[in-house]
Chains A and B, each alone.
Chain A
Amino acid sequence: MMRSGINRILLVVALILSSLVGVRAQEHEHSGEPHTEHAGDEAAKKGKFDVGSMIMHHIKDDHGWEFAHGVTLPLPVILYSSDRSLEVFSSSRLAHGEVYNGYKNEHGKIHRVHEGGEASHEAKVYDFSITKNVASLLLSAAIMLLVFSAVSSGYAKNKGKAPKGIQSFLEPIILFVRDEIAKPSIGPKYTKYLPYLLTLFFFILTNNLLGLLPGAANLTGNIAVTLVLAVITFLIVTFSGNKHYWMHILKPTGVPVALLPIMIPVEIVGVFMKPISLMVRLFANITAGHIIILSLLGLIFMANALGGSGTSLAISPVVIFFTLFLNMIELLVAFLQAFIFTLLTAMYIGSAVEEHHEADHGIGYEGAEAH
């Protein structure tokens, strides 16, 4: 009871924090975009620093992994088109807007171009390239496989003994996911869903933390990644749904018949809103964090562009202080978002497999029950 109470408080705090960060991010995006275009025009004219495009360049996916200005790791470009079948070549061939094999990279999108250089949209090109994000995804998968095979072998090696090394470091987190997320949210059937929840938690956590490294990809802040995670959660919830779950949607108990035409669409929208909120929450939080940190760092370069090196030197201590502070918050957010995504997934699964009809009412009812 005590534990579930703490969980609730954590969740509430996390949701408030995430909404705050989200709002800030939105403001930034709104205020940022026109500014970006404006600054972009100016930059084009005067050769000044363009903070908006710098930020967008950092948070978006790219062919080739740019660690620092001019230091780019070329990555394989994999294209499929119906007339030319599969083509694989290095992304360095498309660097700086060069045309290779009839392809040109324009703002991150690879188009077919004619001999003259103008874009052609006749043939549809499917881009399966190992982009910066895909490379980061593979890297994180490799890290997770390495780490967890080490942890797993630790259990085989230290059988009947106390955990050691990385095993003892990760065991509390695994137990946290099992005892604080899976068990209370799903109930007795949690074992079936525990592997997914653990994979989800550690995948998000690993990529959130990797994304905080300088020069790293913004993987969990990419909508495609969060979309896949949310869709998998949605499929699991939908296919785990028992009779009570569907009855609750089609014919909620205690609702007057006259209200059903309103309630049923609301419930159906709710079914889809859950994964959409999961997708947007993770994407927005991670992207927002990156945008804020990059904006703060961008201040130094803007100051340099506007008032010279003296101004930038003067403001950099303040900026570094705030950036450090925000990095700390981002570290917290990395854990928090992994926790929230996993907890909400577990709760959705829990509501789908729950045997009692009454418990479908969610947090408030359970909380009331606990008292």
Chain B
Amino acid sequence: MDLLTPDLGLLFWQVIVFLGLFFILRAFAWKPITDSLNERENNIQSALDLAEKTRLEMTALKADNEKLLAQARSEREAILRGAKETADKMLADSRDKAESEGKRILEQARESMQNERQALVQQMKKEVVTLSLDIAEKVLRKELSDKTAQEKLVTDLVTNSNLN
């Protein structure tokens, strides 16, 4: 049993025991141990991944909310603006309409006034004519009540017409 020469017996036992140990441990220790270590690592990893995913989802959700809020706000603004515009337009429209209506009414009034005045003038003219004819008749009747005056007029008229 020298230091540097391997003994046959120990070689034999070492091969048997080491290989036996290897196969037994591989089947009953290393496999379950490494499997559960891997499983645990996977669990931890998936839990971390899930947490990260959830966090991202949360931020996405928050961003979405923000966006939604902003959209709602801008929509409200747009609606308000639209309403104001409509109201303004309606106001302006009605004002225009009222103005034009007033103008039209005024025009109409003016027209009818004109007409009435015209009619009135006409009427007055007629009245004046009638009146002056009446007056002239009366005057003539009075003037020509005597014979001489009649003759004189006739002669005047004749002379005047001869000149023509």
A335 in the interface (beta carbon within 8 A):
no
Interface 9-mer from A46-54, A227-235, A339-347, A361-369:
A227-235
* B30–A145 CB distance below 8 A: no
* A56–B7 CB distance below 8 A: no
Given contacts A127-B8, A160-B43, contact A198 B25 (CB under 8 A): yes
* B29–A149 CB distance below 8 A: yes
Complex alpha-carbon distance, A145 and B28, angstroms: 9
Given contacts A108-B1, A134-B13, A137-B17, contact A159 B26 (CB under 8 A): no
Cβ-defined partner of A225 (8 Å) among B14, B20, B40: B14
Which 6 residue pairs of A and B lie closest in terms of their CB atoms, listed nearest first?
A: A224-B6, A108-B1, A148-B29, A195-B26, A155-B36, A224-B10
Given contacts A107-B1, A152-B32, contact A138 B17 (CB under 8 A): yes
* A228–B30 CB distance below 8 A: no
B5 in the interface (beta carbon within 8 A):
yes
Complex alpha-carbon distance, A116 and B22, angstroms: 47
Complex alpha-carbon distance, A145 and B11, angstroms: 21
* B21–A227 CB distance below 8 A: no
Chain A residues, CB < 8 A from B8: 126-128
Given contacts A159-B36, A174-B37, A228-B15, contact A133 B25 (CB under 8 A): no
Cβ-defined partner of B21 (8 Å) among A144, A151, A225, A287: A144
Chain B residues, CB < 8 A from A91: none
* A145–B9 CB distance below 8 A: no
A180 in the interface (beta carbon within 8 A):
no
Interface 9-mer from A14-22, A57-65, A256-264:
A57-65
Cβ-defined partner of A198 (8 Å) among B30, B32, B36: B30
Chain A residues, CB < 8 A from B24: 145
Residue of B nearest to A198 (CB): B30
Complex alpha-carbon distance, A130 and B7, angstroms: 12
A178 in the interface (beta carbon within 8 A):
yes
28 chain-A/chain-B pairs, Cβ below 8 angstroms: A108-B1, A131-B7, A134-B9, A134-B10, A134-B13, A137-B13, A137-B14, A138-B17, A141-B21, A149-B28, A151-B29, A151-B33, A152-B29, A155-B33, A155-B37, A160-B40, A174-B37, A175-B37, A194-B34, A196-B22, A196-B26, A199-B25, A199-B30, A203-B18, A223-B4, A223-B5, A228-B11, A228-B15
B126 in the interface (beta carbon within 8 A):
no
Complex alpha-carbon distance, A117 and B22, angstroms: 44
**Min CB gap A123→B, angstroms:** 15
Complex alpha-carbon distance, A134 and B33, angstroms: 28
* A227–B9 CB distance below 8 A: no
Extra pairs beyond A107-B1, A134-B13, A195-B22 (7, CB < 8 Å): A60-B1, A61-B1, A159-B36, A174-B37, A199-B18, A203-B18, A222-B10
Binary flags per residue of A97-130, CB closer than 8 Å to B gives 1, else 0: 0000000000111000000000000000011111
Cβ-defined partner of B25 (8 Å) among A78, A145, A155, A228: A145
Complex alpha-carbon distance, A108 and B7, angstroms: 11
Cβ-defined partner of A224 (8 Å) among B14, B19, B32, B43: B14
Complex alpha-carbon distance, A194 and B30, angstroms: 8
**Min CB gap B29→A, angstroms:** 4
Given contacts A60-B1, A194-B34, A225-B14, contact A199 B21 (CB under 8 A): yes
A156 in the interface (beta carbon within 8 A):
yes
Complex alpha-carbon distance, A155 and B31, angstroms: 11
Complex alpha-carbon distance, A155 and B11, angstroms: 34
Residue of A nearest to B20 (CB): A141
Residue of B nearest to A108 (CB): B1
* A229–B18 CB distance below 8 A: yes
**Min CB gap A21→B, angstroms:** 16
Residue of A nearest to B2 (CB): A60
Chain B residues, CB < 8 A from A175: 37
User: Restricting to B24-72, which residues have a CB under 8 Å from any CB of A?
Assistant: 24-26, 28-34, 36-37, 40, 43
Cβ-defined partner of A56 (8 Å) among B3, B31, B34: B3
Complex alpha-carbon distance, A208 and B9, angstroms: 21
Chain B residues, CB < 8 A from A227: 6, 11
